[in-house]
């Protein structure tokens, strides 16, 4: 996108990109916390897969991160 003087202009400002990076980090943390919990032996069921971290905390972080991303996109500049 170009401004009136012909200079290239970014779609978002630095503040928006920083908020997006924070949102991506929160989403990544949620997916990392969701990983694991499997059993080495396929004949043995591991109850660890149903703990608080994988069922409540990780999905909440992913949804929170998506909310941060939406905020970063919709945040207006001070100009």
Over the stretch 47-76, which tens digit does the pLDDT of each residue have?
Answer: 888 899 999 999 999 999 999 999 999 998
Cα 20 to Cα 24: distance, rounded to the nearest angstrom: 6
Residue 53 has a pLDDT of: 93
CA distances from 50 to 8, 15, 59 (A): 50, 38, 13
Mean pLDDT taken over the chain: 88
Full-model pTM: 0.81
Alpha helices in the chain, H assignment, sequence order: 14-34, 52, 58-74
């Amino acid at each position: 996108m170009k401004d009136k003087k012909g200079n290239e202009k970014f779609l978002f400002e630095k503040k928006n990109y920083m908020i997006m990076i924070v949102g991506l980090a929160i989403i990544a943390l949620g997916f990392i916390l969701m990983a694991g919990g499997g059993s080495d032996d396929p004949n043995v069921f591991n109850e660890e897969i149903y703990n608080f971290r994988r069922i409540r905390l990780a999905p909440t972080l992913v949804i929170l991160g998506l909310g941060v991303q939406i905020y970063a996109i919709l945040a207006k500049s001070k100009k």
